[in-house]
A and B are shown apart, each in its own frame.
Chain A
Amino acid sequence: MSEPHLQFVAHDRRAAPSASTTTGVPAAASTRTLVPLRQSTRIAARSLGTTRAGDLTSGPGLRARATVTGTAAIEQVSSARAEARDAVPTNDLSNWKNAQQDPLWVRLTLIGLAVGSLLLLVIIPVANVFYQALSAGLHAYWDNLFNDPDTRHSIWLTLIVAPTAVGANLVFGVAAAWAIARFRFPGRSALTTLIDLPFAISPVVAGLQLVLLFGLRGYFGPWLREHDIHVIFALPGLILATMFVTLPFIARELIPVLEAIGPDEELAAVSLGARGWQVLWKITLPNIKWGLLYGILLCNARAMGEFGAVYVVSGHIPGQTQTMPLRVDRLFQGYNTPGSFALASLLMLLALVTLVLKTVLERRTQRELAEAAKLHTVEIES
Chain B
Amino acid sequence: MTPPPQSLLPDADVIIYAHKIKVWSVLKEKVRIVVPSVILHKEAIYSETDAEWTQIDLPGQVARGEIAEIGATTKEINEVLSKFDVVAREALHIGELEALALLLSGRAAGALFCSADKAAIQSLALLGLSEQGVSLEGVLRSVGLSRPLQHQYTESYFRRHIGIGKERRIKGEGLANKRLW
Q: Do A and B come from one complex?
A: no
B interface vs A, CB < 8 Å? none
